[in-house]
Amino acid sequence: MKAAALRILALGVLLASGHVLAQSAPAPLPTWEKLTPEQREALIAPVRDRWNREPGDRGRMLERAQRWQAMTPEQRAQARHGMKRFEGMSPDQRRHARALFARMKTLSPEQREALRNEWKKMTPEQREAWMRDNAPPPRDRDRDRNRRPER
């Protein structure tokens, strides 16, 4: 919820930069170099706040940023699509997706395809049994969150 509000705020700052939106097609947004300091701050602030708030996640945040920079535009589009799908999943579907993803990382492309085909044919009961047998270890962030003192 907070992240969505920050995104809306950042978009509002960009739109409030003096451009009239009465056109049929919105004007393209400027390059980074042409953003005002206020616009840049609005875009950077959420990342800086999370960086400062979650020191245990800094390594993962930096690694993800570096991986993102190395992606092609097509890979980035595919990643955005996957993130949107994941956000729309139920907690149980997310649990399944995490387990499948962890397992898929260890397989060859041929083995991945075989598992995808097998998964599609499984009943819900068979999928739950597969989940029990192949559950990934808890994520570091989850373990850290469980250890953190209440604020």
Contact 21, 15 (CB under 8 A): yes
- The separation between CA 90 and the C-alpha centre of its own chain, rounded to angstroms, equals 16
Place of tokens 């049929």: 24
Closest by CA to 96, choosing from 129, 60, 51, is: 129
Buried residues in 123-149 as b, exposed as e (16+ CB within 10 A): eeeeeeebbeeeeeeeeeeeeeeeeee
Please write the tens of the pLDDT for every residue from 83-120. 999 999 999 888 888 888 888 888 999 999 998 899 89
User: What are the residue ranges of helices labelled H in the chain?
Assistant: 2-15, 37-53, 58-70, 73-87, 91-104, 109-121, 124-134, 140-147
User: In whole numbers, what is the pLDDT of the chain averaged over residues?
Assistant: 80
pTM of the model: 0.53
% of the chain residues with pLDDT over 90: 50
**Residue that wins the pLDDT comparison between 38 and 137:** 38
- Contact predicate 100/135, CB 8 Å: no
